Chain A
Amino acid sequence: MNVIETERLTKRFGDFVAVDRLDFQVARGEIFGFLGANGAGKTTAMRMLCGLSVPTSGTARVAGFDIGRQTESVKKSIGYMSQKFSLYDDLTVAENFRLFGGIYGVPSREIPSRTDEMLELLDFRSEKNTFVKSLPLGWKQKLSFSIAIFHRPGVVFLDEPTGGVDPVSRRRFWELIYEASDRGITVFATTHYMDEAEYCHRASIMVDGRIEALDTPARLKQAHGAASMDEVFRNLARKATRRAD
């Protein structure tokens, strides 16, 4: 079953075609890497899938809902983690869980037990009442991710989730992603780290608003005769005519 399906999804800003006729599917539980250089149109495409931006033409279904007509249902069934760290610094870990649980309509009776469960998973129990601002960045990002999947969404969108974090923390972060995927949560992630692209089940590479390649990392490497995803990426990104912003 596909959790994300797009059909000629397009976004224009005036004469500028930011996203050009995207066609792809993401299956349930899949970890999908959405790669591309800066300015390739990744963020715009992701904003449309999250219901933040209306497509100029084409359609997409996310978690079974049309992004144009059923925006509210889409929003309820997805999780989102932004590129900037974006929890509330002056609230404690538990308060952040409670807030976002409340926003996503998790029944208030269930919030405490789910919070404990999440903290257990993160090995964070001792930090339950710590203010978020005093946590190290790597921990904050793991926390952001846990909050994004707290309401058990069908799909979670991660916009460069591991920016500015050391390799060990990144590795740990990906362990969390695998865990979520094992529980049937689809993960849709953008990243600039090509080693992370290797971790994805499938990856797409966007160039100038179009998807130039989409396959498993192994087959992408094979098709381009490359040793690593990094090489595949460089091969394709070189063709870009659009200037990065």
Chain B
Amino acid sequence: MERFLSFAKKELLHILRDKRTMLLLLGMPIAQIVLFGFAISTEVGNTKVAILDLARDEASRRIERDLDASRYFEVVAHLEDAAEVEPLFRRGKASLVVVFQDGFRESLLRDGSAEIQLIADATDPNTATVFLQYATSVATAYARENQPPAAAPVGIVPQVRLLYNPQLKGAYNFVPGVLGMMMLLVCAMMTSISIVRERETGTMEVLLVSPVRPIFVILAKMAPYFLLSCVNLATVLLVSVFVLDVPVAGSLPALVLVSFVYILLALALGLLISTIAATQVAAMLVSGMAFMLPVILLSGMMFPVESMPAALQWISNAIPARWYIAAVKDVMIKGLGFQAVAKELAILSGMTVFFVAVALKNFKTRLE
């Protein structure tokens, strides 16, 4: 035990002495979460709208006012002619043009329906889809309000309620993603680099000759990164609750438990990388290419797993971050507890055991 402690202390000293890396490790999660939370956002705010009002009646003006009043839109121009639409988009003065046909209100009163034309700049398809939806909902809201009760048309009006994330906030999606990515980065990359560094500098050989069991060398290496990851977990959760307004809706113990398992898994991956990579640079590249990219692309962090081609969905099953992110979403956002994440916990634990076994086997063969 004393051996283990003197060794773990040394690892901690390595990390503390390397101030730049430590700052990076502690600062990066905050930077990432703020970046993803604010800058990379699919939310639509203050979309510039131009109005081509050929009707100029009470109804069209009312909808225009509603649009302008919404925090998603800002009416920036009034057009006189359909020919002005194209140049406006070209110059980027507006992202959406709303066209009211002549006799808008009459047709609404007479037939119970009227048409609005929405012309959107779909250069960025995601954003366009979102603000088209918003605009449509503003118009339907007006229609519903002003429907003469007698003339209620027979039809189905969907009443949409968005559960768990009613404002469709991007941060709800990114917080779990950043957690999943960051742990891998800190644990897998740093652990593998620090083990490979010892091999490169020759200190590993001295340790292997010593009576310290290799398993203790490995555990002592993992311990400080485990601690560091816990600090990171805490900061990310604090930032997301207090800065991004993403609450931890469900059981905090469940969230912590699933995170611990995931951290262990990332440490095991780091160990595995260290048995493959010969140099520190290689260790960095392997953890970067082989683990970071799949996490970003296939884990459901950026793109929903359900909308991937079947083959990729199948591959994504093998990516630990996918299960972790799913579990974090269940607990943080849907507000569920232990039972809901039991499956994910079991899968992550299984993967951890598997990676540890393979890594230890490789580690032993490398010694000979």
Contacts and interface: CB of A to CB of B under 8 A. Distances in A.
Given A90-B18, A99-B6, A72 B211 contact: yes
B211 A105 contact: yes
A95 interface: yes
A84 B201 contact: yes
A50 B209 contact: yes
A5 B13 CA distance: 40
The prevalent SS among residues of B at the interface is helix
Interface in B201-229: 201-203, 205-212
Contact of B10 (A54, A82, A95): A95
Contact of A78 (B3, B202, B203, B209): B209
Given A95-B13, A102-B3, A85 B202 contact: yes
A170 B30 CA distance: 52
A241 interface: no
Given A76-B211, A104-B210, A82 B2 contact: no
B13 A91 contact: yes
Interface residues of A, number: 32
Interface string A76-115: 1010111111111111000100111111110010000000
A103 B205 contact: no
A52 interface: yes
Nearest to A78: B209
A53 interface: yes
A183 B6 CA distance: 28
Interface string A59-81: 00000000000001001101011
B211 A88 contact: no
Given A102-B3, A103-B7, A82 B211 contact: no
Given A99-B10, A102-B6, A105-B3, A75 B206 contact: no
A50 B207 CA distance: 12
B93 interface: no
A108 B6 CA distance: 10
Nearest to B13: A91
Nearest to B212: A103
B161 interface: no
Nearest to B6: A102
Contacts of A52: 205, 208-209, 367
A200 to B, nearest CB: 22
B111 interface: no
Contacts of B10: 88, 91, 95, 99
Interface string B133-163: 0000000000000000000000000000000
Interface in B1-60: 2-3, 5-7, 9-10, 13-14, 17-18
Interface in B161-212: 201-203, 205-212
Nearest to B201: A86
Given A88-B203, A99-B6, A102-B6, A75 B368 contact: no
A51 interface: yes
A102 B17 CA distance: 20
A88 B14 contact: yes
A72 B208 CA distance: 11
A151 to B, nearest CB: 9
A86 B202 CA distance: 5
Contacts of A87: 203
Central interface residue in B201, B210, B368, by most chain A CB within 10 Å: B210
B13 A90 contact: yes
A238 B224 CA distance: 53
B203 A51 contact: no
Contacts of B208: 52
Given A72-B211, A104-B210, A90 B17 contact: yes
B156 to A, nearest CB: 70
B13 A82 contact: no
Contacts of A91: 10, 13-14, 17
A104 B6 CA distance: 11
Nearest to A73: B211
Given A84-B201, A91-B10, A103 B209 contact: no
Contacts of B210: 75, 80, 100, 103-104
B22 to A, nearest CB: 12
A187 B18 CA distance: 36
A80 B203 CA distance: 11
A81 B202 CA distance: 10
A86 B3 contact: no
Contacts of A50: 209
A72 B203 CA distance: 19
Contact of B7 (A78, A82, A90, A99): A99
A91 B198 CA distance: 14
A187 to B, nearest CB: 16
B13 A51 contact: no
Please list the 3 inter-chain residue pairs (A to B) with the smallest Cβ-Cβ separation, ordered nearest first: A102-B6, A84-B202, A86-B202
17 contacts: A50-B209, A52-B205, A75-B210, A76-B211, A82-B205, A82-B206, A82-B209, A83-B202, A86-B201, A86-B205, A88-B203, A90-B13, A91-B10, A91-B17, A95-B10, A103-B3, A105-B211
Interface of A: 50-54, 72, 75-76, 78, 80-91, 95, 98-105, 108, 157
Given A95-B10, A95-B13, A99-B10, 4 more contacts: A52-B205, A52-B208, A91-B13, A103-B212
